Amino acid sequence: MPKSLELIAKVVLVDIEGTTTSISFVHDVLFPYAKKNAFTFLKDTWSSDETQRLVQELMGTPQYVEYAATMNTDGAKIDNVTAFIHYLIDKDLKVTPLKTLQGLIWAKGYTAGQLKGHVYEDVPVTFQSWREAGLIIAVYSSGSVAAQKLIFGHSIAGNLLPHISAHFDTHVGHKQQEESYTNIAKALNVPPEEVLFLTDVVGEAAAARAAGMQSVILQRPGNAPLTADQTASHKIADNFLQLRLSKTP
């Protein structure tokens, strides 16, 4: 079991899936909900400028070109777009317009009380203690900013958004690219070394470290196991309570 980690930072940048929130909630609740309700959402909003923009963005992705080459598709019709959305969700592809569309679908579920965002028990208490200590909390997830706000704003622990100062998604770059973390540090107006990134993915931790940030990998239940080399080369924690954080002077 990992020991407590003594860390100094100004910003705590957190991933969501596998870090603040269980992977099973994302894959077993959110993804199926978006898949089940995609057709109805498209049908109800098809004439809106926002939906038409997202459809065109989806059809302009390399994933759609690959998909269309193997499928008999007639282009931007509701049935075809729905089938493509199902394809992307089934393959868990990180496509920005899909993430935006999923967020819009989930918003209806949260508003209707059909969805509640999962967070681990240690998340609300540590968010509060970190904020009281003067630390800035920010989120970086492949899910859209809107989807992030839904999870934390409608969580099983209540509204956690007052603890969070900034949100970032793949509009700043993909999560295993060094430049993404450089962009985030610039947006937060802090040196990268004063940012602590918490994630469950080794490639993301490595990219953050390459940009100059600190990182800790979370070993939550259900997360991918780490190799001996990975545990030797990265800081590891089972939960947020093991992080003894102090604010950078």
What structural domains and CATH numbers belong to the chain? Answer: 5-21+117-247 (3.40.50.1000), 27-111 (1.10.720.60)
Please give the sequence-ordered ranges of beta strands (E in DSSP) within the chain, or none if there are none: 5-9, 11-14, 136-140, 166-168, 195-199, 214-218, 235-237, 243-247
Q: What is the pLDDT of residue 236?
A: 96
Q: What is the pLDDT of residue 138?
A: 98
233 labelled as ligand-binding?
no
Q: What is the pLDDT of residue 198?
A: 98
175 labelled as ligand-binding?
yes
Q: What is the pLDDT of residue 76?
A: 75
Distance CA 210, CA 221 (A): 27
pTM, rounded to two decimals: 0.89
Distance CA 142, CA 105 (A): 16
**3-state class (DSSP) for residue 177:** coil
Those residues of the chain that have pLDDT short of 50 are none
Give which of 18, 7, 10, 5 is closest to 202, Cα–Cα: 18
Q: What is the pLDDT of residue 141?
A: 96
122 labelled as ligand-binding?
no
**3-state class (DSSP) for residue 247:** strand
Distance CA 220, CA 194 (A): 24
Q: What is the pLDDT of residue 70?
A: 82
Distance CA 108, CA 215 (A): 34
Distance CA 228, CA 237 (A): 15
Distance CA 207, CA 199 (A): 11
Residue 94: C-alpha distances to residues 22, 48, 51 (Å) = 18, 24, 19
Residue 122: C-alpha distances to residues 20, 138, 152, 157 (Å) = 9, 17, 14, 10
Q: What is the pLDDT of residue 71?
A: 79
**Residues 6+ positions from 146 with CB-CB distance below 8 Å:** 100, 103, 104, 107
Q: What is the pLDDT of residue 75?
A: 67
